[in-house]
């Protein structure tokens, strides 16, 4: 499928350029996107937009930088600008991945914030497939040999994984703790110092066998085509989900941000367009529009939200569009927008302080962000929602709900159950399909 001698011949002139370079990369056209064997990869990332016919698979890291703390986005921006100034590429604008946790500290077992360029990046986009190969310039002489070895490992025939049977480990005390925090949140909101707080909870699963991540990602893509489907693997752990919420999509000077708040499901006690859901939505939309001011012009927000329909859930959504001002980077926008009241609360500083003081814990990159950016300045970052952290025979699923005046804690708990069903139903569907094929 790949002419490695031709790859070597194309790499040599890139490496021989007089200008100093930190990273070299080139594109190779492929007839189709093969299915990788993720068991052969210690460092992988998946990103899919089924509705846009976009699928990305990244393996290894030819370049990576991590950061944490209040200045983490500024630090990553500086590293990205420095890399792009010394990146020699033969092909279309190359992509990197970006992921980060909700808070400026934490994120285990993932780094708090990470920016990286895969050694191998598979891209299927609008009917065309290509492979981007990247290497540090200092290691260019041995790169073709490393790439070829990695390709053989990733696409060697693999055994059919066992069906993902699982047992839910429910703890009534954990549910009672969520309800108690919800009542405390409503008491804080009643003081007038806060208008919204987002509380989260987790659900533990016991798996009969370790999960095969690629199969779950494919199942989510089939069940949730309107979402961003994502996954990242570091060693034995994988973090996988299907997000309905775009933090930031940038295409040239045009940017788009989702205001997503207000949720209903078939058994919900509230209608999607009731007063509580609409008030919660307005809080998020207004904050996002305000965050864009100064960094963008021509900010346009629909007068009323639309209904976003997913499998089992509906949301109120506005797509807020604008034009970013010259010299404003994707990182500048992320730093200004994140976290939105949809995942933290409002006003943001007071909400974050309340959550920290009341033991809010979010593992990995849950309610953080994950996506891609390219050397042309474009990118697509989603909020990491409807997700789970898988490690060996254990999994932890995450879900949250927004509390505003008028919220009922029991109804918000039910909302988290409806959101947890996204992954539970995907795991069940995968099990049925694999059992039928056995």
Q: What is the pLDDT of residues 58-117, one digit of tens each?
A: 999 999 999 999 999 999 999 999 999 999 999 998 999 999 999 999 999 999 999 999
Q: Outline where 300-408 has alpha helix (H).
A: 330-337, 348-357
Q: Is the dihedral of CA 208, 38, 49, 65 positive or negative?
A: positive
Count of other CB atoms within 10 angstroms of residue 405: 14
Query: In the beta sheet, which residues pair with residue 432?
Result: none
Are the C-beta atoms of residues 60 and 43 closer than 8 Å to each other? yes
pLDDT mean across residues, the chain? 94
In the structure encoding, which two tokens stand for residue 355, read together?
């959550």
User: Is residue 143 domain-shared with residue 227, that is, in the same domain?
Assistant: no
Final residue in a domain of this structure, among 131, 154, 177: 154
User: Is residue 138 domain-shared with residue 192, that is, in the same domain?
Assistant: no
Q: What is the pLDDT of residue 438?
A: 64
**Count: domains in the chain:** 2
Q: What is the pLDDT of residue 109?
A: 94
Torsion of CA 111, 89, 3, 233, to 10 degrees: 10
Max Cα distance, the chain (Å): 69
Residue 281: its H or E element: helix 275-292
State how far the Cα of 235 lies from the Cα of 346, in Å rounded to an integer.
37
Predicted confidence (pLDDT) at residue 178 exceeds the cutoff of 80: yes
User: Is residue 216 domain-shared with residue 181, that is, in the same domain?
Assistant: yes
Final residue in a domain of this structure, among 154, 182, 212: 154
62 contacts: CB under 8 Å, gap ≥ 6: 23, 25, 117, 118, 119, 134, 135, 136
User: Is residue 143 domain-shared with residue 180, that is, in the same domain?
Assistant: no
- Domain region containing 46: 18-154
Q: How many residues does the chain have?
A: 438
Q: What is the pLDDT of residue 363?
A: 92
Are the C-beta atoms of residues 131 and 28 closer than 8 Å to each other? yes
Please state the pTM of the whole predicted model: 0.96
pLDDT tens for residues 343-356?
Answer: 999 999 999 999 99
Cα 26 → chain centroid? 26
User: Is residue 66 domain-shared with residue 120, that is, in the same domain?
Assistant: yes
Q: What is the pLDDT of residue 158?
A: 76
> CA distances (Å), 42 to each of 20, 236, 337, in order?
30, 8, 32
Predicted confidence (pLDDT) at residue 192 exceeds the cutoff of 90: yes
pLDDT tens for residues 303-348?
Answer: 999 999 999 999 999 999 999 999 999 999 999 999 999 999 999 9
Are the C-beta atoms of residues 69 and 105 closer than 8 Å to each other? yes
Between helices 72-85 and 330-337, what is the axis angle to 10°? 170
Q: Mean pLDDT, to the nearest integer, of 236-259?
A: 97
Catalytic center residues: 196, 245
160 found inside a domain: no
User: Is residue 128 domain-shared with residue 230, that is, in the same domain?
Assistant: no
Q: What is the CATH number of the domain that holds 414?
A: 3.60.120.10
Torsion of CA 429, 435, 437, 438, to 10 degrees: 160
State how far the Cα of 167 lies from the Cα of 425, in Å rounded to an integer.
13
8 found inside a domain: no
Kindly state the percentage of the chain with pLDDT values over 70: 99
Predicted confidence (pLDDT) at residue 126 exceeds the cutoff of 90: no
Final residue in a domain of this structure, among 154, 187, 222: 154
Please identify which residue in the block is written with the tokens 């752990």: 237
18 confidence band (pLDDT: 50, 70, 90)? low
Q: What is the pLDDT of residue 435?
A: 75
Q: What is the pLDDT of residue 1?
A: 77
Q: Is the dihedral of CA 135, 140, 142, 147 positive or negative?
A: positive
């Amino acid at each position: 499928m790949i002419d490695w001698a031709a790859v070597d011949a194309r790499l040599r002139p890139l490496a021989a350029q007089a200008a100093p370079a930190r990273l070299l990369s080139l594109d190779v056209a492929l007839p189709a996107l093969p299915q990788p064997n993720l068991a052969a990869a210690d460092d992988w990332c998946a990103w899919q937009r089924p509705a846009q016919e976009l699928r990305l698979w990244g393996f290894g890291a030819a370049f990576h930088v991590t950061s944490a703390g209040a200045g983490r986005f500024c630090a990553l921006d500086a590293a990205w600008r420095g890399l792009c100034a010394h990146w020699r590429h033969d092909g279309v604008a190359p992509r990197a991945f970006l992921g980060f946790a909700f808070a400026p500290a934490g994120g285990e077992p993932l780094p708090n914030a990470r920016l990286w360029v895969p050694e191998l990046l598979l891209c299927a986009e609008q009917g065309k497939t290509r492979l981007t190969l990247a290497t540090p310039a200092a290691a260019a002489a041995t790169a073709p040999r490393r790439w070829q070895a990695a390709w053989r490992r990733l696409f060697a025939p693999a055994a059919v994984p066992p069906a993902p049977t699982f047992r839910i480990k429910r703890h009534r005390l954990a549910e009672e703790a969520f309800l108690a925090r919800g009542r405390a949140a409503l008491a804080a909101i009643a003081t007038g110092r806060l208008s919204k707080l987002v509380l989260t909870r987790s659900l533990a699963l016991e798996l009969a066998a370790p999960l095969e991540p690629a199969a779950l990602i494919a199942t989510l893509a089939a069940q949730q085509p309107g979402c961003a489907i994502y996954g990242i693997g570091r060693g034995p752990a994988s973090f996988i989900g299907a997000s309905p919420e775009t933090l930031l999509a940038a295409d040239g000077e045009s940017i788009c941000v989702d205001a997503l708040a207000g949720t209903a499901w078939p058994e919900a006690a509230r209608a999607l367009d009731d007063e509580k859901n609409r008030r919660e939505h307005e809080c998020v939309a207004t904050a996002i529009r305000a965050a864009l001011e100064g960094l963008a012009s021509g900010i346009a927000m629909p007068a009323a939200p639309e209904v976003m329909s997913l499998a089992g859930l509906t949301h109120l959504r506005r797509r807020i569009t604008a034009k970013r001002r010259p010299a404003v980077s994707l990182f500048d926008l992320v730093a200004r927008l994140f976290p939105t009241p949809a995942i933290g609360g409002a006003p943001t500083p007071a909400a974050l302080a309340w959550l920290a003081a009341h033991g809010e814990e979010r593992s990995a990159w849950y309610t953080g962000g994950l996506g891609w950016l390219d050397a042309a300045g474009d990118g697509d970052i989603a909020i990491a929602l409807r997700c789970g952290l898988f490690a060996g025979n254990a999994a932890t699923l995450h879900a949250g709900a927004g509390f505003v005046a008028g919220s009922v804690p029991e109804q918000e708990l039910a909302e988290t159950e409806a959101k947890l069903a996204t992954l539970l139903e995907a795991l069940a569907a995968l099990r049925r399909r694999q059992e039928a094929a056995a």
